[in-house]
Amino acid sequence: MSIRHARIFPRYSFYCVLAGLAAIYVFCAMMLVPVKVYILPYLITPDFIRYKGAIVVLFLAIPAAIYLICWKGSDFFAWLRTPQQLTVGERGLQVGERTLAFADITRFRHRHNRNHVLLTPRDGRTLRLRLDLWDHAPALLAEVEDAIGEAMSHDVERRVHAGETVKFGALGLQAEGLVHKGQLIAWSSIDTIRTQSDEDGMEVDEHLVIVANGKTRKIDRSRIDNEPVLMACLMQRLPVA
């Protein structure tokens, strides 16, 4: 059965664009004061420019605007050219005129700090799925993860049983355990595996935390490829907290 998701307006991203434009406007207002052009007469005057704090505002305005518009506000510009509807079928995704079969996807990567999902098929044409542009985003993510996990898991298990090390970006999977930075973490040495969210200002970083032999390893989940498949393999071998 096909499940349809409608495009929604990214309010947060739009507000970030407005904040970035406001920062540029303040920068221009400060630059025009020496030539006696006051576009913010009640906020920026010659006396204000003489304050030490004004220099900080002057130098931070443009970097802040670039961050807000180009990074936090990118979803708004993508929304302008995004189709009205996305369909998740039994065999693949359809976004506008593009159809992407789950069986053709070789790489899945979730950019947690931007809530983007990168889907790379065999032809190398990566589809960026911006989850905040669609209604019921958590359900959409779960649908895609389940479908990709089902499509890939059998091949991964076959390769592991054949003695291969299957790469998942920052981690590798072997029959004996996990491989991180060239070191083998044996299954018997692993105490717990869990996910953890770390907030840093406006950013939220997601980590996979592995505790083995008393040592804690934190892996950025945005650097893990095909995470749904990896987690399915881990659940067959270890209890995941």
Q: Is 94 helix (H, G, I), strand (E, B) or coil?
A: strand
pLDDT tens for each residue of 145-155: 999 888 898 89
pLDDT tens for each residue of 156-204: 999 999 999 999 999 999 999 999 999 999 998 998 898 888 776 666 7
Mean pLDDT, 10 residues at a time, the chain of 241 residues:
92 96 86 73 61 69 92 96 94 92 93 92 94 96 91 91 94 94 92 84 80 91 92 78 47
pTM: 0.82
Please state, as a whole number, how many other Cβ atoms lie within 10 Å of the Cβ of residue 224: 22
Task: Give phi and psi for 88, each to the nearest 5.
Answer: -105, 110
Q: Residue 12 is inside which H or E element, if any?
A: helix 11-32
What is the predicted pLDDT for the residue at 73?
A: 95
